[in-house]
Amino acid sequence: MKIAFISDIHGNAVALEAVLQDIKKKEIDKVYVLGDICYRGPEPEKSLSLVRHLHTKVIKGNADEWVVRGVNEGEVAAQALEMMNKERDWTFERLQSGDIDYLNTLPHSLAIEENGVKIHAFHATPSSLFDIVSPEAKEEDIKEKLMSKVDSHIYFYGHIHKPYIRYINGRVVMNIGSTGLPFDGLTKASYGLLKINESGISTSIERVDYDVEKVIKQYQDSGYPNAEMMINILRNASL
pLDDT in single tens digits along all 239 residues of the chain = 999 999 999 999 999 999 999 999 999 999 999 999 999 999 999 999 999 999 999 999 999 999 999 999 999 999 999 999 999 999 999 999 999 999 999 999 999 999 999 999 999 999 999 999 999 999 999 999 999 999 999 999 999 999 999 999 999 999 999 999 999 999 999 999 999 999 899 999 999 999 999 999 999 999 999 999 999 999 999 98
How much is the pTM?
0.97
d(CA 112, CA 1): 14
Ramachandran sector of residue 57 (left: φ over 0; alpha: ψ -120 to 50; beta: rest): beta
Instruction: Using DSSP, state whether 30 is helix, strand or coil.
Output: strand
d(CA 30, CA 13): 19
- Contacting residues for 69 by C-beta, under 8 A, at least 6 apart: none
In 28-138, alpha helices (H): 44-52, 62-69, 81-93, 97-104
The DSSP 8-state label assigned to residue 72 in this structure reads P
d(CA 33, CA 60): 9
In this predicted model, what pLDDT tens digit does every residue of 154-182 receive, in sequence order?
Answer: 999 999 999 999 999 999 999 999 999 99
